[in-house]
Amino acid sequence: MFDSPIPKAWPFEEAQKLAVRAEELARREVLFETGYGPSGLPHIGTFGEVARTSWVRHAYQTLTGKPARLLAFSDDMDGLRKVPDNVPNRDLLRGFLGKPLTKIPDPFGTHESFGHHNNARLRGFLDSFGFQYEFASSSVYYAAGTFDAALKRLLECFDEVLAVMLPSLGQERRETYAPILPIHPETGIVMQVRIDQVDADAGTVFWTDDNGRKFETPVYGGGAKCQWKADWAMRWYALGVDYEMSGKDLIDSMKLSTRICGILGARPPIGYTYELFLDDHGQKISKSKGNGLSVEEWLRYAPPESLSQFMYNQPHRAKRLYFDVIPRAADEYLAHVDRARGEDAEALKANPAWHFHAGRIPDHAGSPISYTMLLNLASVVNADTPDMLWGFIRRYNHDASPATMPFLARLVEHAVAFYRDFVRPAKKFRAANDIERAALADLAETLRGMDPATHAETIQTAVYEVGKRHPFAALKDWFGCLYQVLLGQQEGPRFGGFVALYGVSETVALIEAALTSRAA
């Protein structure tokens, strides 16, 4: 089926599965879907799901040369279950609980409904990252009749779908559960009630409200919506969805929806389950707890490419999502961009940076100085502004400027912010012991005899040799001394590169000051 080997990258592995499916189903075009619950605002998980789906989509198009669409679907017809904590005018929403989000006033006062407001936030969020997608509104699709044929099919299979769902529910929930939720004709509330009777031919359901009044409601044209697991399956069936990702917490829901989709008569999409994020204590991140890291916070301290790098790495593995992962993600991205400069077209497809940039890595991407190195430079000079770093950077690289190296300029701004908020408050210097003092004095003397323009690798070799001349139990203890005594931190950069950037004479002065001010 494929003329050349599949690139060794997980988006291409997923694309290969999708290509086989497309051929089996004779798909001219495949459809990707991502889902969004607009009772809350877009968050870092939203970015992760759309980014990962977009990478698979691009890999599929590259692999097959065939078109593929991405539908960002908003479940904005869901009933509001509780008033969110992070909105203004919360009292305004209390009288609208249970009603579709697109029928509830906007507490922000900017859109025709709360659902419309959050949909706009979602589109703005996705647009800010340059994602290519089509937006879809559940309310619009139901009202326009897009789902009418699928709803009729669901009514025809009502008992079979019910038989799938009931065993998954608690006893109390079974009493009122139905895969179809009628909209109350008087209150406009999405009704969580038992369906007394179904008329598939007429397209209606019979039900009783809390006051004992009986109704017959047409399910077409927005008169009802599906309960969410049935809704997921109905959407796959109605739209012909071929691929959808979901978090580990939805594994059971995915299984149920897959069975329902099969009952309706469609082949369910290929699914991809990704792991959830953990906080710095290893606990699952929760929006309600606020124990994670927001997109806005990440982008304060690093460029979006670093967030893409974090999302790309091992999606099947749970990862800590906290501030201390940011520098590593930024430097991993820089390393991939640097490697890409020497790769041929086929090798590039296994490079994560190729996926982030949809196959076209910009010329201005990358940086001659790592993010970690910038942090360490900021730490030594106690940088409060980017200008404090640029003097050292220009001496290290005469061609460097914000105009000639815009990505480096962004990294400098981010590094200063990260240093100010996280590194400086955590700095903790210690005094050197006798062995370390002797080695540091030796290093100062070694550096003092070097030309200021000495290459970083030459300096690094000299640093190694100094460490070997002294009785450290392990060479890592020597580098631990450099970081803890000179930089006030547990880890650091390749020290030769740091000296080349900071300056040979400046490093000698730094060592002498540490030996003088922090006597053992």
Mean pLDDT for all residues in the chain? 93
CA gap 83, 86 in Å, rounded? 9
- Give the pair of three-digit tokens for residue 231: 């809704």
The pLDDT of residue 60 is 98
pLDDT digits (tens, 9 = 90+) for 354-364: 999 999 999 98
Residue 151: helix, strand or coil by DSSP? helix
Q: What is the DSSP letter of 1?
A: -
Q: How many residues does the chain have?
A: 520
Which residue from 44, 16, 21 is spatially nearest to 31, judged by alpha carbons? 21
Q: Cα dihedral angle (381, 384, 387, 388), rounded to 10 degrees?
A: -10
Residue 402: helix, strand or coil by DSSP? coil
List, in sequence order, every residue forming a beta bridge with 100; answer none if it has no partner: 79
Q: What is the DSSP letter of 186?
A: T
- pTM to 2 decimal places: 0.91
Domain boundaries in the chain?
A: 279-366, 434-517
Sign, CA dihedral 35-37-41-43, equals: negative
| Residues contacting 145, CB < 8 A, separation 6+ | 220, 221
The pLDDT of residue 287 is 55
Ranges 65-79, 251-265, 269-283, 329-343: which has the least confidence:
269-283
Residue 106: helix, strand or coil by DSSP? coil
The pLDDT of residue 518 is 61
Q: State the fold for domain 434-517.
A: Arc Repressor Mutant, subunit A (1.10.10)
pLDDT digits (tens, 9 = 90+) for 407-427: 999 999 999 999 999 999 988
Note whether 496 and 457 are within 8 A (CB).
Answer: yes
Is 414 exposed, middle or buried, given 0-12, 13-18 or 19+ CB atoms closer than 10 A? buried
| Long-range CB contacts for residues 158-165, cutoff 8 Å, separation at least 24 | 158/195, 158/198, 158/200, 160/263, 161/230, 161/260, 161/263, 164/256, 164/259, 164/260, 164/263, 165/227, 165/229, 165/230, 165/256, 165/260
The pLDDT of residue 37 is 86
